[in-house]
């Protein structure tokens, strides 16, 4: 498969990724923060469905809240692999908290990829400085996987745009100050080429939020609808040119699906570590259950699948950094494979803990619930397989 894709794209660079000393230093630093300042609050954040403010404060203090933003916009300029490592290590402790750096990248990536220099200079520095967060508004109630069927409208009015409609399932909605919003700007135009992207600010008149969704997992990250009722925004808030919105949105997902793969790897890593610690301590039939071959085989399969997922995510992250021609395939593959692995590993972790795994006294049941969303958002895994399949037969 790897050979086929390289032959297909003409990419002869087989040195796909290599973690540097700096990457591992970043891992050590964020792991310490995650263990000491994020993990202790993870259960409470989940139980109370509250935004992980302690995690946000800790990440901002260490410049890990939006590490992807370039240095020219007051960011630290971390590469795509370093950003994935940050998300992975935070997710290992608390999946809800890992959505802070992940969604900051998702929301701001359209600006990075397609906005004017003036728009970049206005909106990226506040994110980099930790003064604001950035969310992403693409999906609607009847336009999930079929994004081109969206109904949200942006109508020109003089130099301004007037937004009408809604967006659904928006991560960190209400907490973020800025939102990339996709809307139809030419209702009679060609499907998919009639959508534009805009930056909407939390305080814009006519912009509001629905109630928080009651969710299976990632309960500490608020998910709400965005509502637009004659929401007027200045004309210079458009990202790119009219009609380029969906193209920018899909390019964004090529990059950010990799970060969901990283989140999935982190969740699975946390579940595996908890399972190993438990079976080494738990005794049955006069010995530790870690000594049973059946248990060791389960752990071996979990670790093997997890490491395969991690390697694929890191390859995709390196391709994201280089903007390789086959990024669409590898981004979809990393997200799809890693999230399927996260679901399996967390279910197996619950099984290894037995009855203890089913109660909230142990974190693996939370991790199992959190893992499920990684198979759904930023494109269901069925859509990821469609993306990969189309690339293979194109």
Residue range 295-347, pLDDT digits in tens: 999 999 999 999 999 999 999 999 999 999 999 999 999 999 999 999 999 99
What residues act catalytically? 378
Any idea which residue has 């039939």 for tokens? Answer: 285
**pLDDT given for residue 242 in this prediction:** 97
DSSP E strands: which ranges in the chain?
134-137, 153-157, 160-171, 178-184, 195-201, 207-209, 223-234, 238-239, 283-284, 287-288
Instruction: Please report the pLDDT score of residue 17 as a whole number.
Output: 66
**pLDDT of 228-258, one tens digit each?**
999 999 999 999 999 999 999 999 999 999 9
Q: Predicted confidence band at 16 (pLDDT cuts at 50, 70, 90)?
A: low
DSSP letters for 165-218: EEEEEEETTTT-SEEEEEEES-TTSPTTSSEEEEEEETT-TTEEE-PPP--SS-
Domains and CATH numbers, the chain: 10-133 (1.10.540.10), 135-243 (2.40.110.10), 246-393 (1.20.140.10)
CA atoms of 101 and 227, how far apart (whole Å): 24
| Distance of alpha carbon 394 from the chain centroid | 27
The label of the residue with tokens 């990393």 reads 334
**Beta carbons of 327 and 319 less than 8 angstroms apart:** yes
Residues, the chain, total? 394
Residue 28 has pLDDT above 90, yes or no: yes
The tens digit of pLDDT for each residue in 70-122 reads 999 999 999 999 999 999 999 999 999 999 999 999 999 999 999 999 999 99
Which pLDDT belongs to residue 18?
78
Share of the chain above pLDDT 70, in %: 96
CA 123-50-26 angle, 5° bins? 55
What is the per-residue pLDDT for 394? 86
């Amino acid at each position: 498969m790897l050979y086929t894709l390289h032959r297909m794209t003409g990419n002869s660079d087989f040195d796909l990724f290599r973690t540097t000393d700096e990457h591992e230093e970043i891992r050590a630093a964020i792991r310490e923060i995650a263990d000491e300042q994020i993990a202790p609050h993870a259960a409470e954040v989940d139980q109370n469905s509250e935004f992980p403010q302690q995690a946000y404060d800790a990440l901002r203090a260490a410049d890990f809240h939006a590490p992807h933003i370039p240095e020219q916009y007051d960011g630290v300029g971390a590469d795509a692999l370093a950003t994935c490592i940050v998300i992975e290590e935070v997710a290992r402790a608390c999946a809800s908290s890992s959505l802070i750096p992940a969604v900051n990248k998702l929301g701001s990536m359209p600006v990075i990829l397609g906005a004017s220099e003036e728009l970049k200079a206005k909106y990226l520095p506040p994110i980099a400085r930790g003064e604001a967060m950035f969310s992403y508004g693409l999906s609607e109630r009847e336009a999930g996987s079929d994004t081109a069927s969206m109904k949200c409208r942006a109508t020109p009015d003089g130099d301004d745009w007037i937004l009408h409609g809604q967006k659904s399932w928006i991560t960190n909605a209400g907490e973020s100050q800025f939102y990339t919003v996709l809307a139809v700007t030419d209702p009679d135009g060609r499907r998919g080429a009639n959508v534009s992207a805009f930056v909407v600010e939390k305080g814009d008149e006519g912009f509001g939020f629905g109630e928080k969704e009651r969710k299976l997992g990632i309960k500490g990250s608020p998910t709400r609808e965005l509502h637009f009722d004659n929401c007027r925004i200045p004309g210079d808030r458009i990202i790119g040119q009219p009609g380029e919105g969906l193209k920018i949105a899909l390019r964004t997902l090529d990059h950010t699906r990799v970060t969901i793969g990283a989140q999935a790897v982190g969740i699975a890593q946390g579940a595996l570590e908890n399972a190993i610690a438990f079976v080494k301590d738990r005794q049955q039939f006069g010995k530790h259950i870690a000594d049973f071959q059946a248990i060791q085989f389960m752990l071996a399969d979990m670790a093997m699948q997890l490491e395969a997922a991690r390697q694929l995510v890191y390859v995709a992250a390196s391709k994201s950094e280089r903007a390789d021609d086959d990024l669409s395939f590898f981004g979809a593959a990393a997200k799809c494979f890693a999230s399927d692995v996260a679901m399996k590993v967390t279910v197996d972790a619950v099984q290894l803990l037995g009855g203890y795994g089913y109660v909230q006294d142990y974190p693996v049941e939370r991790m199992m619930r959190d893992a499920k969303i990684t198979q759904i958002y930023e494109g269901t895994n069925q859509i990821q397989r469609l993306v990969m399949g189309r690339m293979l037969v194109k």
